[in-house]
Amino acid sequence: MTAAKHIGVYPGTFDPITKGHLDIIERGLTLFDELIVAVAESPLKAPLFDIDERLLMIRREIKKHKNVRVEKFNCLLIAYMKEKRAKTVLRGLRVISDFEYEFQMALTNRKLAPEIETVFMMTAENYAAVSSRFIKEIARLRGDVGAFVTPNVKARLKDKYFPSGR
Ligand code: ADP
């Protein structure tokens, strides 16, 4: 009998995907046979990029990995996990301030579904201060976000904030 595949789910808003997210995906791949990057629509966060734009940007960046899939989800994370037969949630930690939110979310998910475990991976030092929120603010104010996102994402941010190319 072959062992069941160990599937990890990395959920988030990814508005947009950053080098910090990509670093967590690379690290996560050392733990799982397959990783699903699960993109939440997150309407309450009023994302800059719509769900399909976010999916496209991520797919472009992870093309080289055959064992990473990118999907959207709109339901409760644990319901999605059950549907995918995945038992492990992957999340990234940057700074202490991430901890409280992540801890609460992991405990809430554990209450709802005790069989699902959350694992945290620490960001690479260079990306500890990288957040989608700050990147959007820098791009909106015409700053250079090249250190934090890939060239394609940088171009998409520019299109979004300055559609006429100005
Ligand atoms: P959410 O809306 O679920 O917080 P995000 O896209 O902001 O979605 O983040 C998804 C996950 O990636 C979270 O666990 C977050 O802590 C982690 N993350 C975001 N930026 C980084 C980074 N620079 N380094 C490591 N982890 C990160």
DSSP characters for 20-42? HHHHHHHHHTTT-SEEEEEEE--
Least confident of 48-52, 57-61, 128-132: 128-132
Predicted confidence band of residue 70 (pLDDT cuts 50, 70, 90): very high
Whether 166 is catalytic is: no
Backbone angles phi, psi at 158, to 5 degrees: -65, -45
> pTM of this prediction?
0.95
Cα–Cα distance measured from residue 52 to residue 153, given in angstroms and rounded to the nearest whole number: 14
Q: Is residue 37 predicted with pLDDT exceeding 70?
A: yes
Mean pLDDT, residues 5-13 taken together: 96
Q: Is residue 166 predicted with pLDDT exceeding 90?
A: no
Asked whether the beta carbons of 24 and 92 are under 8 A apart, the reply is yes
Whether 94 is catalytic is: yes
Whether 132 is catalytic is: yes
* Arithmetic mean of pLDDT over the chain: 95
Which pLDDT value is given to residue 98? 85
Q: Enumerate residues 6+ apart whose C-beta is below 8 A from 91.
A: 10, 11, 12, 24, 102, 105, 106, 118, 119, 120, 121
Other Cβ atoms less than 10 A from the Cβ of 70: the count is 22
- Ligand 1: distance of its center to the CA of 10 in Å? 9
The best mutation among 10, 24, 98, 130 to test binding of ligand 1, ranked by most ligand atoms within 8 Å of the C-beta, falls on 24
Backbone angles phi, psi at 118, to 5 degrees: -110, 130
- Ligand 1: distance of its center to the CA of 91 in Å? 7
- Ligand 1: distance of its center to the CA of 164 in Å? 30
